[in-house]
Amino acid sequence: MKICMLLMNEFVQDLRVQKEAISLIDDNQDVIIIALKDEHTKRVESRYGISIFRMGVSSRWLPKNYLFWFIKYAEYLIRSIMAGVKVSPQAVHSHDLNTLLIGWVLKKIRRIPLVYDSHELYIDRISNPIVYRFWRTLESYLIKQTDRTYAENVSRSQVLERRYKVSGILPLRNCQHLNINPKNDLLRKIYHIPATQKIILYQGLVTKLRGVDFLIEMMNYLPAKKYCLVIIGPGDFVDEAKKIIKQNATQNIHIVGNVALEKLPLYTSSADLGISLIQNVNKNHYYALSNKIFEYLSSGLPIVFSNFPEMKRVIEEEQVGYVVDETNMQEASQAVRKILEDPVLYKKMVTRAYKCVEEKYNWDMEVKDLQNFYKKIEKSA
């Protein structure tokens, strides 16, 4: 069965889309992805058995504002629809709201099922009221035209159901593949961190919205000889973070920068605790279930996260760490110490982390409903 996935980015490192596509290919489906082209990407490419076709947008040179964005979007929409018709799919799969209109048009033209895969609470990230109204109106109508809708977690499913008075939206959490990462000393060797100093790890985008400035502040509440913070990832706060560390002559904070995805688990599993204090700037953040949770747990790390509904659900149900006020660094530091200064508690949390990934929070289990849905479509075709 030929499935056409629609994506409004260049599909370079979109792991959720890649995992879904590979899982469907492993289940004997044929997956084609229509994505956006820039100067750094190929127009046609094959990766992991996925056929990738990228659409160039000739109006991309226009200024970056909402008026010109709609012109660019209209061009991309037309080009993607034409490409989608040309590949003759038996089903269309729209990743996020910005491709849902394209998917709906293809559904009508080809008379095929439409799957809406909502990665974010898209409209809750928009501040412009006119743009917000446009996307909300669009989503309100189109979500009722889909044959299946997935959201990134339970809370986001419920938000969409309440907002648009629909039912049956299913969670498709962004878990990791079942891959238990054994402990190692990579970070200790690279940064000459002594065994007496515990490693607190943050990995992900290095921005203020992800609370990295608060993490640096948190280290003021922890004894420097006993704790260090390692920050892994790219972002617009990296240079500023380095300046703060240099100005304060801080010796126990290490900024690694970006790490290749295939090497990242080695870094993760060499830490002692994983942390992320994403900030509550909108509903999309508040109802997020960070994939960092699953990255940390797969490496046997107890965790400290922002006290948001989905993070709290996983952490408290599985007893693998604590949730805290994402702006209270004294509370965050106390949670860190409570875990790392109690060897018995720490050992229990490590065991539970590995166990919950093996038994519950892994991609191989999470993707089953998606695979079964497409099998059902194929049988009824």
The verdict on 319 and 207 lying in the same domain is yes
Q: Tell me: do 337 and 275 sit in the same domain.
A: yes
Q: Is residue 320 part of a domain?
A: yes
Are 219 and 306 contained in the same domain?
Answer: yes
pLDDT in tens, 314-344: 999 999 999 999 999 999 999 999 999 999 9
What pLDDT is attached to residue 181?
A: 86
Same structural domain for residues 209 and 255? yes
pLDDT of residue 245: 87
pLDDT of residue 348: 98
pLDDT at 249 over 80: no
Q: For residues 355 and 246, state if they share a domain.
A: yes
CB-based contact 323:145 (threshold 8 Å): no
pLDDT tens digit string along 101-150?
999 999 999 999 999 999 999 999 998 898 899 999 999 999 999 999 99
Which DSSP letter does residue 99 get? G
Separation of alpha carbons 103 and 116, rounded Å = 8
Which two tokens mark 310? 């989905």
Give how many domains the chain has, as a whole number.
2
Task: Note whether 234 and 102 are same-domain residues.
Answer: no
The pLDDT assigned to 294 comes to: 94
Q: What percent of the chain has pLDDT over 70?
A: 100
Q: What percent of the chain has pLDDT over 90?
A: 85
Q: Is residue 202 a part of any domain in this protein?
A: yes
Residues 128 and 111 in one domain: yes
Q: 181 in a domain, yes or no? A: no
Residue 298 in any domain: the answer is yes
Give tens-digit pLDDT for 15-65: 899 999 999 999 999 999 999 998 889 999 999 999 999 998 888 777 777
Phi-psi region at 350: left, alpha or beta (left = phi > 0; alpha = psi -120 to 50): alpha
Q: Same domain for 67 and 164?
A: yes
Q: Which domain holds residue 190?
A: 186-359
CATH for 304: 3.40.50.2000
Distance CA 277, CA 323 (A): 9
Residue 180 belongs to some domain of the structure:
no
* Model pLDDT, residue 360: 93
pLDDT in tens, 140-170: 999 999 999 999 999 999 999 999 999 999 9
**Residues 171, 313: one domain?**
no
**What integer pLDDT is reported at residue 60 of this predicted model?**
73
What is the per-residue pLDDT for 179?
Answer: 85
Report yes or no on 35 lying in a domain.
Answer: yes
Task: Examine the domain organization and report whether 256 and 333 are in the same domain.
Answer: yes
| 84 Cβ contact partners less than 8 Å away, ≥ 6 residues apart | 4, 6, 34, 92, 102, 106, 110
Mean pLDDT of the chain: 94
Report how far residue 180's alpha carbon sits from residue 379's, in angstroms, rounded to the nearest whole number: 35
Per-residue pLDDT reduced to its tens digit, 71-82 = 888 999 999 999
Backbone angles phi, psi at 98, to 5 degrees: -70, -10
Could you tell me if 233 and 315 lie in one domain? yes
What pLDDT, on the 0 to 100 scale, is given for residue 70?
83
pTM above threshold 0.75? yes
Q: Give the per-residue pLDDT at 69.
A: 79
| 48 and 169 assigned to the same domain | yes
